[in-house]
A and B are shown apart, each in its own frame.
Chain A
Amino acid sequence: MMITEEEVRKLRESYMKAQDASDVEGCLSFWDKEGALLPPNMPMVKGIEAGRRFYEDLFKNYRQDAEVTFDEFGLSENWSFLQGRFVIKLIPVDGGETLHSKGKYLEIHKRQPDGSLKFYRHMWSEDE
């Protein structure tokens, strides 16, 4: 069955809720088992365990508040892509000045055997 924009939006929104709640396992629950992050200025973060360490390090230091926009969807039966832009606030857990960032992203999602949709690749970089 063809992946729909609504499914992709729902995946994105659910994932962002987990991120904004600093919920490591919640974030990982939206990953394909071979999923990977491609963050700027560091090598690919591939696999659930590497992802867990990434989120633990991030959420240990920052709480985040993010907004995303969707520029283009690419939809098929077994996977989809989405490109768009983000604005994010990184709020230091131990106080200190909030960091502001904006940028763009490109991501791939895969249909799972149970019919759900999960992140397979998520790449982003900042505009400055």
Chain B
Amino acid sequence: MSPVDVEAEKRLVDRVVQGLVEADISKDLDRIMELFAEDINYQPPGVPPLFGKDAVRRYLDRAFDQTEDMIAGSDRTEVSVSGDLAYSVGWFKSKRYGWEDYLDYKYLFALKKTTDGWKIVAESFSRNSREGGEYYGYRPGEEQ
């Protein structure tokens, strides 16, 4: 078996993470779904975990309706020495329509290498403060 080029895999993972950030900012749901595993475990704050692309698409569709702007960046990405697992930690700021201030969030992704390339298998994110209003994308009673 040939040795794994971890740096090359990391560049591919960085591309997926950057692709997700850009797709989030442009609210491109189809592109986002391409980057997710079919059975993704999506963990937004304030709602039970969402399993699978369909549930996440519904959630994000609603979230994007409320989001005027977003800025995001990655702090650290690491690929396993076996070259088939990765994680990425980072941050984003989200501004809702009608609001003056951006809300600060942090995120953690887990990725797996599949026959169809790197896919995000889990995503968790949360606010950095209780100040400033409700959670991103969450309207009580309407989340499901």
Residues of A whose CB lies within 8 Å of any CB of B are 38-44, 71-72, 74-81, 83, 85, 104-106, 108, 121, 123-128
Contacts and interface: CB of A to CB of B under 8 A. Distances in A.
20 contacts: A38-B106, A38-B126, A40-B127, A41-B127, A41-B130, A44-B106, A71-B49, A76-B81, A76-B84, A76-B85, A77-B81, A79-B80, A80-B85, A83-B110, A83-B124, A106-B123, A106-B124, A121-B87, A123-B108, A125-B126
A127 to B, nearest CB: 4
B135 to A, nearest CB: 9
Given A76-B82, A81-B110, A41 B49 contact: no
B48 A77 contact: no
Chain B interface size, as a band, is: 20 to 34
Contacts of B45: 40-41, 125-126
B112 A74 contact: yes
Given A38-B106, A126-B46, A72 B128 contact: no
B72 interface: no
B44 interface: yes
Most chain B beta carbons < 10 A, residue from A77, A104, A124, A127: A104
Contacts of B112: 74
Contacts of A83: 41, 43, 110, 122, 124
- Determine chain A's interface SS by DSSP, over half rule: strand
Contacts of A71: 41, 49
Given A81-B110, A121-B87, A106 B43 contact: yes
A43 B91 CA distance: 10
A39 B108 contact: no
A32 to B, nearest CB: 12
Contacts of B123: 106
Given A40-B45, A108-B108, A125-B126, A72 B121 contact: yes
Contacts of A42: 128-129
A104 B80 contact: no
Given A43-B128, A125-B124, A125-B126, A104 B81 contact: no
